[in-house]
Chain A
Amino acid sequence: MDKREKVVVVRNLYKSFGDLDVLKGVDLDLHREENLVVLGRSGTGKSVLIKIMVGLLRQDSGSMEVFGQEVSTLSLKDLNKLRLKIGFSFQNSALYDSMTVRENMEFPLVRNIKNLSKKEISMRIEELLEAVGLPHTINQMPSELSGGQKKRIGVARTLVLNPEVMLYDEPTAGLDPITCVEINNLIQEVRDRYKTTSIVITHDLACAKQTGDRMAVLLDGQFRAFGTFDEVFPLAEDQRIKSFYDYNFIYS
């Protein structure tokens, strides 16, 4: 695997909702096996960016290429083929609340990979639950799980299809500090164990520092800073990035 290979290429991307311009000419490159953290205040369009990446939203103009394919021009069949390579971990986990943990994980597996025996399905599910440290929850309903457990199961469910790219939308939002660290560790473990390329959307600097190889700060609809954590934050000249760092520091 060539780590210089560009998995995601975004050029001059625009997206607005009614009169509200959210993304105003975003450019981004994501390399294989890289953990990119996208930071920014709430409502700056971080989640919109990754939703365009999986075809849940469509950009107004510009290009969004994933594995060399322009997402907005793909047919539903090709889009679904592409989606199999992308795992999306939602902010609120988005577990199917009428299904058990096992059924949640079976759902994408049996519908996308044919001819799997019951034993193979069980083995795959148990292996992933083991990997996220929750093998005992297999027959539990999502309502019986804590916030941190739901996040872990959400990650396990996305991993069931062996994605090459993982998108984490606010993985530590609403969690206590200890669980946040556990989730951050899990993101790193997933990258190391499954060799995934990741984008982590967050406004939590502790999460960014722990999980990211590279930071990208989204301000006013454009990326204003790229680099490692130490390059972007402590010495930031842009007052908005500096205040973002200071507030996070004071808050934590």
Chain B
Amino acid sequence: MADQASTRKNVFSKKIDKFFTGLADAWNFVKRFFQEVFIPPYEFKEVIQQCYRIGVESLPLISLTGFIVGVVFTNQSRPSLSEFGATSWLPALISIAVVRAMGPLVTALIAAGKVGSGIGAEIGSMKVTEQIDAMEVSATNPFKFLVVTRVLATTFMIPVLVMYTDFVALMGAFVNVNTNELVSISTFFVQVFDAITFLDIFSSILKSLLFGFTIGIVGCYKGYNSSKGTEGVGRAANASVVIAMFLIFIEELLVLQIVTAIRSL
């Protein structure tokens, strides 16, 4: 009985130990990113290539999702507003919801799934096939070429994708509002821009930068530290998505608290 308890205690303490070692590892990885990002040589060509892959290649998926979000959210909001005879507030309500929360969140979650898993799997497979070792022994810096470039690309491109998603979602909302309430495009967008403030746009961009950084760094970290062959690559890709999504929700909550505090000043 006492033996069982001590074994359980040992297993538990090993898990705690592993958790904190992992946390320290991740912190050192982030620290290394900030050390290397400012030191030349800079891999501009690779950053641009990654921006293209992350940005342009995500457009079809983002477009479709953004449009559907706009249409569905408008449809779901209409009954509640119509109870108060306030369907004319639909453009304002939708613009606030899309710009403040749904645009950044939907884009980041889709990017975590598409881009984050891609980065985790790509770097993971390079790791297990010794391609990263091959870069290292040829006196080049794989961290700079693989990690710094991808994290910069996600950090730059997610805000751009968020702005695009906002626009597409608003267009979806407009199609719905125009069909049902016969509101013209100019009236719709006047109401949209009247409702949002500089703080809304600022917080949206700030969140997007954070989300982009998170997606990139988590994907790279899990890929860079993958092991155990192809199984490890799968795990890296999976963990990249799960951890990034979890962190995105936490960051959303934190930024919301900060922005709410600023708003109440």
Binding site for B on A (CB under 8 A): 51, 54, 56, 80-81, 83-84, 86, 88, 90-92, 94-98, 107-108, 111-112, 157-158, 161
A96 is contacted by which of B41, B131, B136 (Cβ under 8 Å)?
B131
B179 within 8 A of A: no
Contacting pair A107 B129 (CB below 8 A)? no
A83 to B137, CA, bound (A): 6
Task: Report B136-151 CB contacts with A as 1/0, cut-off 8 Å.
Answer: 1111100000000000
How near does chain B come to A143, taking the closest CB pair, in angstroms? 12
> Is B133 in contact with A56, judged by CB distance below 8 angstroms?
yes
Tell me which residues across on chain B come within 8 A of A54, comparing CB atoms. 137
A107 adjacent to B133 (CB under 8 Å): no
Taken together as a complex, chains A and B put the C-alpha atoms of A156 and B134 apart, in Å, by: 13
Q: Which of B41, B131, B137, B139 contacts A56 (CB 8 A)?
A: B137
- Across the two chains, which residue of chain A brings its CB closest to B41? A111
Task: State which of B126, B130, B131, B140 has its C-beta within 8 Å of the C-beta of A108.
Answer: B140
- Nearest CB of chain B from residue A239's CB, rounded to whole Å: 34
Complex CA distance for A54 and B130, rounded to whole angstroms: 14
Residue of B nearest to A90 (CB): B130
**A97 close to B139 (CB less than 8 A):** no
Q: Is the CB of B133 within 8 A of A94?
A: yes
| Neighbour of A94 across the interface among B122, B131, B139, B140, CB < 8 A | B131
Given A92-B129, A111-B41, A56-B140 contact (CB < 8 Å): no
The interface residues of chain B, by DSSP majority, are classed as helix
Contacts of B137 in A (CB 8 A): 54, 56, 83, 86, 88
Chain A residues, Cβ within 8 Å of B138: 83, 88, 107-108, 112, 157-158, 161
A56 and B133 CA atoms in complex are apart in Å by: 7
* Distance of B46 from chain A, by nearest CB (Å): 11
A94: chain B residues at CB < 8 Å are 129-131, 133-134
Shortest CB-to-CB span from A27 to chain B, Å, is 24
**Nearest 9 CB-CB pairings of A with B:** A108-B138, A94-B134, A80-B139, A94-B130, A83-B139, A88-B137, A111-B140, A54-B137, A90-B130
Q: Residue on B with the closest CB to A158?
A: B138
Complex interface: chain B residues within 8 A of A107 (CB): 135, 138, 140
Interface string of B168-190 (1 = CB under 8 A from A): 00000000000000000000000
Q: Are A90 and B134 touching (Cβ within 8 A)?
A: yes
Q: How far is the CB of A89 from chain B (nearest CB, A)?
A: 9
13 A-B pairs within 8 Å (CB atoms) are namely A83-B139, A86-B137, A88-B134, A88-B138, A94-B129, A95-B131, A96-B131, A96-B135, A97-B129, A97-B131, A98-B122, A107-B135, A111-B41
Residues of A contacting B126 in the complex (Cβ-Cβ under 8 angstroms): 96-97
Nearest CB of A to B122, in Å = 8
Contact between B133 and A108, CB atoms less than 8 A apart: no
Interface string of B31-42 (1 = CB under 8 A from A): 000000000010
- Do the beta carbons of B139 and A112 come within 8 Å of each other? yes
Residues of B within 8 A of A88 (CB): 134, 137-138
Query: In angstroms, how far is the closest chain B Cβ from the Cβ of A162?
Result: 12
- Inter-chain CA distance A91–B137, complex, in Å, is 14
Q: How many Å from the CB of A169 to the closest CB on chain B?
A: 9
Please, which residues of chain B bring their CB within 8 A of the CB of A158?
A: 138
> Scoring B residues 99 to 141 as 1 if CB is less than 8 Å from chain A, else 0, what string do you get?
0000000000000000000000010001001110111111110
Across the interface, name the chain B residue whose C-beta is closest to A167. B137
| A84–B139 CA distance with the chains assembled, in angstroms | 6
A108 contact set on B, CB distance < 8 A: 135, 138-140
In the bound assembly, the distance between CA atoms of A88 and B130 in angstroms comes to: 11
For the complex, give the distance between the alpha carbons of A161 and B139 in Å: 10
A112–B136 Cα distance when bound, in Å, is 12
Which of B122, B130, B135, B139 is the one whose CB lies under 8 Å from A92?
B130
Q: How far is the CB of A52 from chain B (nearest CB, A)?
A: 12
A54 to B138, CA, bound (A): 10
Which B residues touch A86, using CB under 8 A? 137
Known: A80-B139, A81-B139, A161-B139. 12 other contacts (CB 8 A): A56-B137, A83-B138, A88-B137, A90-B134, A92-B130, A95-B131, A96-B131, A97-B126, A97-B129, A107-B138, A108-B135, A112-B139
| Residues of B with C-beta under 8 A to A98 | 122
A215–B42 Cα gap in the complex (Å)?
Answer: 44
Please name the residue on chain A nearest to B43 by beta carbon: A111
B133 near A90 with CB under 8 A, answer: yes
Q: Chain B: which residue is nearest A154 at the CB level?
A: B134
